[in-house]
């Protein structure tokens, strides 16, 4: 359509991606909003990467926060602010039309939550808003045969939430979610190091440790790294060595909750579809799918093949893009 701009938005707890029809992914920003709270209502200072650098460093008058918590909108106004900025950026200087937006929502959100996301996008200037459930977008993005009469299982493991779904004939047949993701693993690492080493570290350091040496299953070449933090006993800076095995122990609760969620869903899957999944395996998307050895652990527990999709961080946004490119009816 002339002058119309179709965009897909994956509004995540930690990252927001925007796919523009015909162009691909054009925006990748942390889901952070910085506000000046001296005025009422407070005014927008920055969104995305610029706002993220302000977290923990803001003067009293500015707050930098994440509007999405555990995959759902925690602050409606801030979410609308963020969407408004993203839509504006995605539209560039095309002033002729307002964007048509395909927005991802977690599976199993309530009608009230659906409406809140929908309204936030409308208020942010979208001309027309459709919603797609994250696991469906992830399955499409991963190239699974969602329209065919075979069962495919996709698990999207993000920062604040993990979701799993069995899709067949264009629909979600069984699904499940837990509000546990990579952020919770970072928190668990902070708590473990505090408890075991009396050392206080920040969220960024915890995420760094997880990505560098974290794992869900023992791996070849396990390492130890030196970390700096504040000694809780005397308040002075202190160095401690952390091993892969310690990180695995720290995050094991989170990992097990995600594995249990997937196993419960397999138990609830109708037998014919379960046998399709046994043949075809389970596909993983989302940043936490990159946790070392998670695929191996899941495969061992479920006795099924497990593979991580090609672009775990982009998969959901790519799925919205495929819907837009193909003009899927109803979207």
Ligand X SMILES: Nc1ncnc2c1ncn2[C@@H]1O[C@H](COP(=O)(O)OP(=O)(O)OP(=O)(O)O)[C@@H](O)[C@H]1O
By CB under 5 A, what part of segment 126-165 binds Mg ion? 158
Pick between residue 108 and residue 198 the one whose CB is nearest to ligand X: 108
* CA–CA gap between residue 67 and residue 84 (Å, rounded): 13
* CA–CA gap between residue 176 and residue 17 (Å, rounded): 23
Pick between residue 36 and residue 203 the one whose CB is nearest to Mg ion: 203
Nearest distance, CB of residue 182 and ligand X, angstroms: 2
Nearest distance, CB of residue 265 and ligand X, angstroms: 17
Q: Which does 290 bind (CB under 5 to 8 A by kind): ligand X, Mg ion, none?
A: ligand X
Instruction: Phi first, then psi: give them for residue 53, nearest 5 degrees.
Output: -65, -15
* CA–CA gap between residue 165 and residue 171 (Å, rounded): 10
- Ranges of beta strands (E only) in 52-141 are 62-65, 68-69, 72-73, 100-105, 128-133
Q: Which does 207 bind (CB under 5 to 8 A by kind): Mg ion, ligand X, none?
A: ligand X
* CA–CA gap between residue 99 and residue 101 (Å, rounded): 6
Pick between residue 17 and residue 199 the one whose CB is nearest to ligand X: 17
Which region holds residue 39: left if phi is over 0, alpha if psi is between -120 and 50, else beta?
Answer: beta
Residues that bind ligand X (CB under 6 A): 12-15, 71, 158-161, 181-183, 207, 210-211, 286-288, 290-291, 313
Q: Which does 276 bind (CB under 5 to 8 A by kind): ligand X, Mg ion, none?
A: none
Nearest distance, CB of residue 214 and ligand X, angstroms: 6
* CA–CA gap between residue 49 and residue 51 (Å, rounded): 5
Nearest distance, CB of residue 310 and Mg ion, angstroms: 16
12 binds Mg ion (CB under 5 A): yes
Contact predicate 324/318, CB 8 Å:
no
Q: Which does 246 bind (CB under 5 to 8 A by kind): Mg ion, ligand X, none?
A: none
Residues that bind Mg ion (CB under 5 A): 12, 158
């Amino acid at each position: 359509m002339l002058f119309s701009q179709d965009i897909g938005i994956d509004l995540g707890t930690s990252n927001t991606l925007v796919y523009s029809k015909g162009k691909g992914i054009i925006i990748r920003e942390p889901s952070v909003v910085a506000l000046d709270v001296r005025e009422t209502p407070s005014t927008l200072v920055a969104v995305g990467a610029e706002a993220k650098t302000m977290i923990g460093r803001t003067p009293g008058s500015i707050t930098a926060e994440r509007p999405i918590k555990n995959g759902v909108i925690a602050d409606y106004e801030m979410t609308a602010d963020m969407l408004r900025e993203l839509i504006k950026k995605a539209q560039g200087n095309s002033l002729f039309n307002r964007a048509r937006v395909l927005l991802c929502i977690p599976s199993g959100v309530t009608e009230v939550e659906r409406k809140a996301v929908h309204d936030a996008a409308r208020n942010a200037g979208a001309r027309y808003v459709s919603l797609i459930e994250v696991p469906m977008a992830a399955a499409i993005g991963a190239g699974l045969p969602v329209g065919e009469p075979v069962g495919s299982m996709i698990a999207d493991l993000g920062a604040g939430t993990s979701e799993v779904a069995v899709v067949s004939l264009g629909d979600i047949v069984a699904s499940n979610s837990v509000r546990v993701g990579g952020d919770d693993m970072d928190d668990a690492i902070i708590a473990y190091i505090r408890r075991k080493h009396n050392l206080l570290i920040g969220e960024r350091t915890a995420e760094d440790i997880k990505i560098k040496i974290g794992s869900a299953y023992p791996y070849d070449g396990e390492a130890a790294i030196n970390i700096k933090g504040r000694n809780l006993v005397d308040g002075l800076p202190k160095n401690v060595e952390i091993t892969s095995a310690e990180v695995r122990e720290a995050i094991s609760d989170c990992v097990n909750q995600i594995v249990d969620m997937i196993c419960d869903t397999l138990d609830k899957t109708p037998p014919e579809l379960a046998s399709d999944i046994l043949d075809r395996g389970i596909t993983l998307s989302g940043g936490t799918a990159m946790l070392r050895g998670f695929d191996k652990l899941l495969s061992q527990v479920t006795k099924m093949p497990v593979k991580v999709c090609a672009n775990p961080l982009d998969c959901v946004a790519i799925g919205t893009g495929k819907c837009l490119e193909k003009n899927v009816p109803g979207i």
